[in-house]
Amino acid sequence: MEDVTIKIKGMMCGHCEKTVAEAAKNVKGVTKALSDFKKGEAKVSFDSSVTDLETIKKAIADSGYEVIEDGEACPIPVRSATVPQQVKTVDKEGGIKKDFEYDSSKVSLAEFENAITSLGYGVAKNEVTLKVGLMHCASCALNIETALKKTPGITSVNVSFPLERARISYDPEQISAPDMIKIIEGVGYTASEKLDRSDADREQRAREEEIKRQRTNFIIALVLAVPISLGDMGRNLNWTFVPDILKNDYLLFILATLVMLFPGRQFFVGTYKGLRHGMTDMNLLIATGTGAAYTVSVAATFLDLGEAYKHTYYDTAALLIMFIVLGRYLEAFTKGKTSEAIRKLMGLAAKTARIIVNGEEKEIPVEAVKFNDIVVVRPGEKIPVDGKVTEGLTAVDESMLTGESMPVEKTAGSEVIGATMNKTGMIKFQATKVGADTALAQIIKLVEDAQTQKAPIQKLADIVAGHFILAVHVLALLAFFFWFFIGFEYFNVPGTFGMGMTSPFLFSLLISITVLIISCPCAVGLATPIAIMVGTGKGAENGILIKGGEALEKAQKLDTIVFDKTGTLTKGEPALTDVIAIKGSESEVLKLAAIAEKGSEHPLGEAILKGAKERGIDLPDAEGFRAIPGHGVEVKYRGKKVLIGTRKLMAENGMDITPLSARLEELEHSGKTAMIVAQDNEIVGMIAVADTLKESSKEAVEELHKMGFSVAMITGDNKRTADAIAKQVGIDRVLSEVLPEDKASEIKKLQSEGKKVAMVGDGINDAPALMQSDVGIAIGSGTDVAIESAQIVLIKNDVRDVSKSIRLSRMTLNKIKQNLFWAFFYNSVGIPIAMGILYPFTSPPFLLNPAVAAAAMAASSVTVTMNTLLMKRIKLDR
Amino acid sequence: MEKKLGVYSIIASLVTSVVIVSFFYLIALQKLGAHPDIYRPVDVYAGMVYVFILAMIVSASIWPGIIEKRLIKN
């Protein structure tokens, strides 16, 4: 005896389940057959000496359903998997688990994961997201990545500087999250596990504290730097309006020391912590620059070093710190704005829920709601978790999650999404997803994951930022050598400034300090992640979930969009389209058909019933309902036999259908399912039902055409039907009669023609095609946002969002390019000027003041952030 | 290995910095001799301190990576 599970596509209801099970049971040798339309499978027990699996599959296929062969991608995507070194546990949606073992000497973990994902399954690893503090620039993020990557058991690390997150894949048998926190703390940063709502609140508070701290630092630096600058410059330039007391070296020393001790301390502490662990970051550049200016000034104050050393540079040190602290304040402020989307999403969640306990309502924290609890929501209240309505009628505003402005009507059986707003009536619903499983929690996770993922374009920025600090110190050293040994004498600096005014050391030192100060790895490091943060955040606000920078980059290179037909361009559920009366009126024919289908669970029957109800037809009960699988139904109404079904059913009942053939074929050729209605073995009419187009499909295709895309449709329908539908929506290329398993190879064919293809599908049946395409776009259903096979998920189930998502991708990538251009341009122009390249060519000789360099440096990262924030104001509609 | 890496890195960085500072000192001495009106001993000594600091930062960033690779190779 053998037990098998056969994957089946096309089962839509209990009736289909029955048909499949019957088909399998009818095979000789099959002892038991149970099918489940929700799981899309049939479990069959059979005697292998009497029959074989192929015969059973054929019988099921002959009953009108598609059998999915082994090795094909399962239509149910794998949700998550834990990956110890030797065993993977794959947890499928629906609770099916599968353990994999592999030989790590023959295949690497990454190769194994790739093999699974290439089959259309998703593999979620043991991942942890840590909140990282005290990062000041992209170099800090790279320092943490380097330290973690060196650690055994860590398979991948992504540290986002603007998001202050580290996303780490790891082997739990070798390392744990507390170990990783220790490693991060060991290199001079703080780390903690996150994330729930209270963490988000804490994070918000921490950000506010940082803004406050930098604002206080800036005010102190400003208050001290103004008299220092007046005093120092007043003395050097003989400004008579400056009181003599301010020109006093000892007073300037005290004021400058206060600047170094309070607002400036953070740079020296940061440098010390980094150097202790062999790490260099932005702090080192600032500490070296300001420290050198301050030290030289202190030496000049307390030692007699000669005429040229009578000048102090306290103003340089103070102004440098003032401008850099101003930059940090503005950066902390604007960075907070970029992560607003996630905070807004987190803030959407309800704090409490009212559940029924022993027949009475009880208010509990939302975290305490359990699966299957009955939750009561009154008008004006937030729906606390995801669930299914059991009682009541209401309209729910889902705009906060889906972007859909119109409230959605909910009755018993409707699904409700946590964090949406109940508008009109009181409802009771059964909690189906709680905690981390709710749609909101999944959206937040998806957006956060996307924001911590690096775009390929960031590689260049990372390479630059990774070696930036070192390169700048080398340049500062070279500039110092050049001006000390060659430039000072060759370009007659003493002649220009006067010998008593400067010395080779001081002149070269100031140039070297300016090089250190003007260099800004922050702008380079921020350019990409900050644009991805804002782009993905804006997407989430509009019901478009983009899974990371790679998807963004690929989306802007697309030239062909392939739509799956059923459920994507069409509604995916049949609707009544034609009623043709042969005897009596159309409404009489429809009434008879609807009465007959009243007891049917079949989607076609439901469509007829719905059509009749919409036309206000009264539907009395019939007697003796009998479903004839694969053919139709039979009932008795007012003593007369009513039949509705196929040609075969009518022929078997002795009716001649030849006169109807032409009309039937015409209906079928236009993609409709035609049924014949008969009363007392006399044909009275025909009814046609079809999967109708979504209202937005035509507009979506038109918009894509306007954007210059070639649009194709892929379907299993015959060519004539597919052409008819494609014509209605204006699609130029039709890939018809494509079996579900062949959709991926059709996409591959298009790619081999050199096209960059996006596949738009429902994310479940189209998983292999979505995976094969350059960008898989899944049309979600509000709650199902964790579609693994897609890189972009459209929550709203609106195909018009395809063009919006592509527009958003283009916009984000343009912003990344702009940011990178400005960051590189700023550094590649600023550093040579700071090195004194203009000095020989200008008259009077031009040298960049270190304080101006500090202001420019502070401005560069703020400019990148502000430029990115402009994206928030752009509308995605056009 | 961590300890070895740290010690070797510090030694290599110190040696590199001393070499660079010595190079600076030798040229500076020549300049001091040739142009006593421009260069003063204080420029040379202050310059040596600054060059040493920058050279230490640069070499301490380069050597650990090189030494780590060598240690792993051996």
CA of A177, closest CA in chain B: separation in Å? 22
DSSP of A462-500: HHHHHHHHHHHHHHHHHHHHIIIIIIHHHTTHHHHH-TT
Report pLDDT digits (tens) over A808-829.
Answer: 999 999 999 999 898 888 889 9
**How many angstroms from the chain centroid is the CA of residue A223?**
45
Q: Given an 8 Å threshold on Cβ–Cβ distance, is A488 in contact with B50?
A: no
Q: What's the pLDDT at A13? A: 56
Helix-, strand-, coil-residue percentages of chain A, each rounded to 5: 50, 20, 30
Q: What's the pLDDT at A141? A: 84
Distance CA A756, CA A759 (A): 10
Q: DSSP code of A625?
A: E
Q: Yes or no: say if A780 and A797 are a contact pair by the CB < 8 Å rule.
A: yes
More confident residue, A413 or A571: A413
**CB proximity B67 to A under 8 Å:** no
Cβ pairs A/B, distance under 8 A: 73
Q: What's the pLDDT at A55? A: 84
Of A74-88, A467-481, A484-498, the range with the highest mean pLDDT is A467-481
pLDDT for residue A222 is more than 90: yes
Where does the pLDDT of residue A77 fall: very low under 50, low under 70, confident under 90, or very high at 90 and above?
A: very low
* Segment holding A514, helix H or strand E: helix A504-518
Q: Given an 8 Å threshold on Cβ–Cβ distance, is B42 in contact with A504?
A: no
Which residues, 6+ apart, have CB-to-CB distance to A852 below 8 Å? Answer: none
φ, ψ for residue B52, nearest 5 deg: -60, -45
Distance CA A402, CA A422 (A): 15
φ, ψ for residue A280, nearest 5 deg: -120, 145
pTM of the full predicted structure? 0.70
Out of A306, A480, A504, closest to residue B38 by CB: A504
Which residues in chain B touch residue A473, judged by CB atoms under 8 angstroms apart?
A: 54, 57-58, 61
Say if residue A869 is preceded by a cis peptide, omega within 30 of 0. Answer: no
Q: What's the pLDDT at A124? A: 54
Q: What's the pLDDT at A72? A: 41
Q: What's the pLDDT at A763? A: 57
Q: What's the pLDDT at A90? A: 43
Residues 23-62 of B with CB under 8 A from A: 24, 27-28, 31, 35, 37-40, 42-44, 46-47, 50-51, 53-55, 57-58, 60-62
Say if residue A844 is preceded by a cis peptide, omega within 30 of 0. Answer: yes
Which residues in chain A touch residue B72, judged by CB atoms under 8 angstroms apart?
A: none
Q: Given an 8 Å threshold on Cβ–Cβ distance, is B54 in contact with A489?
A: no
Report pLDDT digits (tens) over A605-647.
Answer: 888 998 998 888 888 888 888 888 778 889 998 888 999 988 8
Out of B37, B46, B54, closest to residue A477 by CB: B54
Active-site choice (A564, A723, A784, A801): A564
Q: Given an 8 Å threshold on Cβ–Cβ distance, is B57 in contact with A284?
A: yes
Q: What's the pLDDT at A70? A: 53
Radius of gyration over every alpha carbon of chain B, rounded to an integer in angstroms: 16
CA of A322, closest CA in chain B: separation in Å? 23
Q: Yes or no: say if A20 and A34 are a contact pair by the CB < 8 Å rule.
A: no
CA of B48, closest CA in chain A: separation in Å? 10
Distance CA A8, CA A70 (A): 11
Out of B6, B35, B57, closest to residue A489 by CB: B35
Give percent of chain A with pLDDT exceeding 90. Answer: 24
Report pLDDT digits (tens) over A642-680.
Answer: 999 888 889 888 898 888 888 888 887 777 888 999 999
Q: Yes or no: say if B21 and B71 are a contact pair by the CB < 8 Å rule.
A: no
More confident residue, A409 or A195: A409
Closest CA to A137 of A389, A327, A340: A327
Out of B28, B43, B58, closest to residue A474 by CB: B58
For residue A496, CA distances in Å to A232, A493, A502, A503, A840 come to: 21, 5, 10, 12, 12
Cβ burial, residue A217 (10 Å; 0-12/13-18/19+): buried
For residue A586, CA distances in Å to A43, A125, A684 come to: 44, 59, 9
More confident residue, A561 or A344: A561
Q: What's the pLDDT at A558? A: 93
Q: Does the annotation mark A564 as catalytic?
A: yes
Q: What's the pLDDT at A105? A: 61
For residue B65, CA distances in Å to A158, A186, A460, B12, B14 come to: 21, 18, 20, 12, 16
Distance CA A67, CA A715 (A): 17
Which residues in chain A touch residue B17, judged by CB atoms under 8 angstroms apart?
A: none
Residues 482-541 of A with CB under 8 A from B: 484-485, 488-489, 494, 499, 503-505, 508-509, 512
